[in-house]
Amino acid sequence: MDALYHLRIDSPVGPLLISGTTTHITAVSFTDNPEDVFHEAPPLLLECAQQLFEYFAGDRKSFDLPLSQPGSEFQHRVWDQLLKIPYGQTITYLQLAKRINNVKSIRAVGTTNGKNAIAIIVPCHRVVGANGVLTGYAGGLWRKRWLLDHEGGDLFKGMR
């Protein structure tokens, strides 16, 4: 089993904690803990940090990183669909449920969206409530709004 490493970086939406092994990114999470400072990180975590810096600078619209987060087959189907939402677009929870061919799973889709451990890279912030209403976000709604504004997104663009 690979060792787990952590790297804390500053970003426009506050400090981010990147976690991973030498082969996979396992989490990108928001942190307010100033003690989350780590000194050694493998090249993959440094590459992840670089790609996030490029995203925040407006120079990157998609990520090219090996990802791994534990979850059920259902959760992985939802997270895989999140990766297909284009930069600057949003979809609703109902549309996400339809994309996995299970319209009755809308609540489970919402719960799974909230359990996504790889914020920003697996763009759960691009999922909104009906009619573009911003709903819960693990990092706080202000961060979700910031990320959507940063992407220049029309809340209704992908929902038509």
* Residues acting as catalytic residues: 124
In terms of Cβ atoms closer than 10 Å to its own Cβ (0-12, 13-18, 19+), residue 108 is: middle
- Edge-to-edge, what's the strand order for the sheet holding 5-9? 5-9, 16-20, 25-30
Rounded to an integer, what distance in angstroms lies between the CA atom of residue 144 and that of residue 135? 9
